[in-house]
Structure formats: C-alpha cells, structure tokens
Structure 1
Amino acid sequence: MKRFILLITATLFFAFQIAVGSSAALDLSKELRTVPSNEAGDTVVMS
C-alpha cells in the first residue's frame, strides 16, 4: 500500500511539473518583456 501511495504521489508530481514547465516556456514579445528601469524613463528588455 505504501508503494502505491508513493507511486501516485510521484505520478502527480511529475504531471504537474510537465504542465508548469510547458507554460513557463511561453515565448513573449519584446514589447511585453520591456519594463521601466528607473524614474528617468530608461527601459530594460528582460530575457
């Protein structure tokens, strides 16, 4: 029974990681990655 619970837990963990990993790999445009860097109006493009 303990092995069954560990197997289910590991399966759910890896399924969650696959779902989150694929959403984190979303390609954002340069406009969405550009943020203000200071009060003077300079901007930085995050990569």
Structure 2
Amino acid sequence: MSGWDASYVQKRLGHKNIQTTINTYAHLNGQDLKETFQNFQKDKQ
C-alpha cells in the first residue's frame, strides 16, 4: 500500500516464495480494486 515493490519486501523479509509475502501483507479492499480497474480502463483508451 505504501508503494514498495513486493519483490523487495520478499527479499528483506527472507520469504522464499513471493506468494507468502503477498498473502501476508497485501490486502486490497473494494476501493483499491475499483481505483485500479479505473486506471486500467484509462490506460486502454
């Protein structure tokens, strides 16, 4: 959420699999998903 790259966080925490990092620390809410989708739609135009 603070703009850190997940692979950087993975390495700093020593997680072997990036999915461990994402499942533990990346929790998107409905607003996050809505904004990301809207940005995606803008990029497609």
TM-score by length of 2: 0.37
The structure richer in helix per residue is 2
Q: Name whichever structure is richer in strand by fraction.
A: 1
* Higher Rg of the two aligned structures: 1
